[in-house]
Structure 1
Amino acid sequence: MSDRTRARACPERTCVGCRERSGKGEMLRVVLVEGECVPDHRGTLPGRGAYLHPTPTCVDLAVRRRAFQRAFRVPGPLDTAKLRSAVPRETP
């Protein structure tokens, strides 16, 4: 038997808001459902996904930069109400 440890490689994803890389488990997957950005907590919804840190700062950055439109390859504004309600607001 080998002395090597069998550590699984954790896939990394880039946040569409802040553009920083993090482990897939630390990110929130977002998918497009009928023109609306929907959080995919289990990671099982079909379609193209965009990854985001689950913080209000990253959500705001992604919306301001129109990152969801680029990630999902669609024109025009997208509804982010469900996504914003799923991300907890920071308390001072």
Structure 2
Amino acid sequence: MSGRTHVRACPERTCVGCRKRAAKHELLRVVAVEGACVPDHRGALPGRGAHLHPDLACLDLAVRRRAFPRAFRLQGSLDTDALRAYVGQRAGVTPAS
């Protein structure tokens, strides 16, 4: 026996907002569906995904930097309203009326 412990490596992804690396399970996968950014909390939706901290500050950074169209390799802007509502609900922030 070599004496090494068998530790499973945890996959890491980079947040498109703050550009910091984190464990995959700490980030929210986002997918583009018909011109809108949709949260993929189960990680099962098809297509290219981008990862984001479930935090409004990271979401604002990603929108300001136009990171979603670049990550999805799409032209133009994407609607982030559904994503903003999901992240706000998860963070405990009520949406502004």
Considering the TM-score relative to the shorter chain, is it more than 0.5?
A: yes
Tell me the residue number matched to 1:43: 43
- What does the per-residue CA deviation read over 1:17-58, in whole Å, with 9 as the maximum and x for residues that have no partner? 000000001000000001110000010100000000000000
Alignment of 1:8-87 (within 5 A): 8-87=8-87
In structure 2, stretches of 5+ residues that fail to align are none
Give the distance between the partners of 1:54 and 1:44, measured in 2 at CA.
17
Give the distance between the partners of 2:42 and 2:3, measured in 1 at CA.
34
Supply the AA of the counterpart residue of 1:34: E
In structure 1, stretches of 5+ residues that fail to align are none
Supply the AA of the counterpart residue of 2:23: G
Identity %: 69
TM-score, length basis structure 1? 0.92
Tell me the residue number matched to 1:4: 4
Give the distance between the partners of 1:11 and 1:75, measured in 2 at CA.
29
Give the distance between the partners of 2:92 and 2:64, measured in 1 at CA.
18
TM-score, length basis structure 2? 0.87
The number of residues matched between the two structures is 91
Q: Residue 32 of structure 2 aligns to a residue in which SS?
A: strand
Instruction: Give the superposition deviation at 1:5.
Output: 2.0
Q: Residue 71 of structure 2 aligns to a residue in which SS?
A: helix
